[in-house]
């Protein structure tokens, strides 16, 4: 009967290890759980941001489309009115609704004038080539007689 082994207390190292080991396991599990939560939160935030960006793009696109449509309609009516005013007519007055529409548009967009922005109507093919009005070359070509001048003549 060996009494010295059965009554012996565990050493301080083993007692400390038995206390620290569960704490370390809980700390590792907690850090792993925090990492998983962080990744899940980041994915959710990315999804919300993508949804918000799409929603914002739709809203801005709709607003821009409406504003562009309003400008184009006003421009077309103004161009038609200009064409009609250039024709001789008997006893017709100018369109007050058009003038009010232009004034309202110019108040909505201060610093912009419809007359300065308006472009004549054009027709485009599906590939982007312009049909009407005919395109104007960016730089005019010199006349044939100018091309046939000698360098001395050109200098003079």
pLDDT tens string for the chain (156 positions)? 455 555 677 688 888 888 899 999 999 999 999 999 999 999 999 999 999 999 999 989 888 888 888 888 888 888 777 777 766 654 445 567 888 888 888 888 888 888 777 776 666 677 767 776 666 666 777 888 888 888 888 887
> What backbone phi and psi angles, to 5 degrees, belong to 135?
-70, 150
Alpha-carbon distance of 155 to 151, in angstroms, equals 6
**What is the maximal distance between C-alpha atoms in the chain?**
136
> What backbone phi and psi angles, to 5 degrees, belong to 10?
-65, 155
pTM of the model as a whole: 0.44
Task: Enter the DSSP assignment of 130.
Answer: E
């Amino acid at each position: 009967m060996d009494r010295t082994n059965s009554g012996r207390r565990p050493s301080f190292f083993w007692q400390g290890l038995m206390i620290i080991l569960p704490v370390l396991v809980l700390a590792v599990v907690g850090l792993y759980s925090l990492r998983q939560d962080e990744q899940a939160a980041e994915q959710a935030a990315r999804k919300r941001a993508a949804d918000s960006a799409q929603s914002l793009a739709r809203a801005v696109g709709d607003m821009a489309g409406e504003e562009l449509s309003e400008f184009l309609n006003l421009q077309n009516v103004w161009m038609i009115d200009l064409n009609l005013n250039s024709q001789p007519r008997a006893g017709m007055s100018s369109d007050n609704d058009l003038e009010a529409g232009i004034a309202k548009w110019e108040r909505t967009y201060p610093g912009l004038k419809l007359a300065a922005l308006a472009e004549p109507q054009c027709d485009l093919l599906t590939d982007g080539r312009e049909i009407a009005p005919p395109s104007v070359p960016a730089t005019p070509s010199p006349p044939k007689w100018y091309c046939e001048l000698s360098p001395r003549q050109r200098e003079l």
